[in-house]
Structure 1
Amino acid sequence: MLSQALSFRYVGDSGVDETMNQQLEIKNALPESLAPVLSFTALDKNEHVLPHVKVSTVYGSDRGNLVAPYGVSVDILRFSGPGEHDVADVRVTVRSTTEARIPAGAHDVTTQALDSHGREISRFERFSAVRLTNEDDVPASVRIAYILWDQPPKGVTQQAVEVTAVGGLTQVPAHGTAVVKVSGKAAAAVARNSNGPAVSIKAYNSQ
């Protein structure tokens, strides 16, 4: 079964600066890229179930939206409800798994914010487009998430509080680039959150 090729590890805080919190590491032991549908149970530090905490994802591994290539890829988890700050681990259930229609490469597609003149700027500024770069030998099929993070007190993991899609499914050629314009809801989110303390622009393999 394809689902048996998948294993998972939750990393609340890696301890490394500039590393996103609440990551789910997905390890795929098969050479084929997989698109799983996962569900999650939140656990406290004693591995007890937190029944009132809802777990959702940023990249969509709970909806079959994330493509996991061979090796390790990640999704980002979001917690809500009473006890959300007590989550120390998650139990992952694989609901289904299919082979992805579009295989993914080994490396993450990287993002670069651009201004209206195509110049590189910081992700914290009010950007007008995102340049995607694919260093793999195969084309990539990705989506872009613009993420606003909260500012928690010390000892509490940082959580994605707002996630906005930039553009739609985008093809990036092998060893090439693609530029996605920021418009609609994404433009509003960038205008609202630019010059703030904590945002990310992330591309993830999808279909």
Structure 2
Amino acid sequence: MKVDHRRLAAASMAVAVSGALLAGCGPGALAGKARNAHSSESRSGSDERSQALSFQYVGDSGVDETINQVLVIKNVARDSLAPVLSFKALDKNDHVLPHVKVSTVFGSDRGDLVAPYGSSTDILRFSGPGEHDVADVRVTVRSTTKARFPAGLHEVTTQALDSHGRKIEKFERFSAVRLTNEDDIPVFVRIAYILWDQPPKGVTQQAVEVTAVGDLTPVPAHGTAVVKVSGKAAAAVARNSYGPAVSIKAYNSQ
């Protein structure tokens, strides 16, 4: 299998992808730079699907109330794709930070995230000595397959509900999540309940706890679905409710 290393080079810009970067995840977004991907190895034949993918790393968009440490995935294939990616963290001089582990919130490193035609996102997490020195990432496409379920062009939105089905703030202790699909096709999504840290100035905000709410959930075309909060998700909501920095994010999956 041919492996593609995509180096992400600096460009001064803020990135917004169909509202997917909007988090409401806490105060204090910091001025930052987006990173533009370019392929360092050409591929053909069996790698055709992988060639359809390109990436941007956005440590901080510089826009208030947006998620930090975002990987923007652009797919020019008409099929929805499920990539398996791996990452190396880089410092501001493009040197590899060998002790920093890179993982993801939505599972693009495990084949769990489905990337539709157009743009989608994952969220990166860094851990280990040097985690606060990450300025960029190098992405390796390990494999890419056609997704079992096609994804729509729009982000599936989430709304926290109380035990009576009424809308409440995501910072409160909610009992269910309503999913809304604007697209013309049914989609399958998972829900992540994310707790964010409160970093000092100059450090990007990071997901410190990620809990799945429910399982893989079908959402009908131009319709809604309600997922109850139970088990580990209920415990996480009880523990983190009324705090300053949480998000409820739905993502296309399989």
What's the TM-score bracket when you normalise by the shorter of the two chains? over 0.9
| Alpha-carbon distance between aligned partners in 1 of 2:65 and 2:141, rounded to the nearest angstrom | 30
Name 2:203's counterpart in structure 1: 156
Instruction: Give 1:153 deviation, angstroms.
Output: 0.2
Name 1:191's counterpart in structure 2: 238
Percent identical pairs in the alignment equals 86
Name 1:29's counterpart in structure 2: 76
Instruction: Give 1:31 deviation, angstroms.
Output: 0.8
The letter for the 1-side match of 2:250 is A
The letter for the 2-side match of 1:18 is E
SS in 1 for 2:234: helix
Unaligned runs of 5+ in 2: 1-47
Name 2:65's counterpart in structure 1: 18
Name 2:89's counterpart in structure 1: 42
Name 2:49's counterpart in structure 1: 2
Name 2:108's counterpart in structure 1: 61
- Which deviations, in whole Å up to 9, do the C-alpha atoms of 1:124-179 show, x marking residues without a partner? 00000000000000001000000000000011000000000000000000000000
The letter for the 1-side match of 2:137 is V
SS in 1 for 2:237: helix
Scaled by the length of structure 2, the TM-score of the pair is 0.81
- Which deviations, in whole Å up to 9, do the C-alpha atoms of 1:73-106 show, x marking residues without a partner? 0000000000000000000000000000100000
Name 2:189's counterpart in structure 1: 142
| Alpha-carbon distance between aligned partners in 2 of 1:199 and 1:127, rounded to the nearest angstrom | 12
SS in 2 for 1:188: helix
Unaligned runs of 5+ in 1: none
2:72 aligned with 1:72: no
Name 1:121's counterpart in structure 2: 168
The letter for the 2-side match of 1:117 is H
| Alpha-carbon distance between aligned partners in 1 of 2:101 and 2:136, rounded to the nearest angstrom | 13
Between Structure 1 and Structure 2, how many residues are aligned? 207
Q: Which moved more, 1:139-148 or 1:11-20?
A: 11-20
Instruction: Give 1:18 deviation, angstroms.
Output: 1.4
For residue 133 of structure 1, the aligned residue among 180, 195, 214 is 180
Instruction: Give 1:26 deviation, angstroms.
Output: 0.4
Once superposed, which parts of structure 1, at least 4 consecutive aligned residues long, lie more than 2 Å away? none
2:219 aligned with 1:175: no
Instruction: Give 1:17 deviation, angstroms.
Output: 1.4
| Alpha-carbon distance between aligned partners in 2 of 1:18 and 1:183, rounded to the nearest angstrom | 28
2:146 aligned with 1:93: no
The letter for the 2-side match of 1:48 is H
Scaled by the length of structure 1, the TM-score of the pair is 1.00
CA-based RMSD of the aligned residues comes to 0.4
Name 2:213's counterpart in structure 1: 166
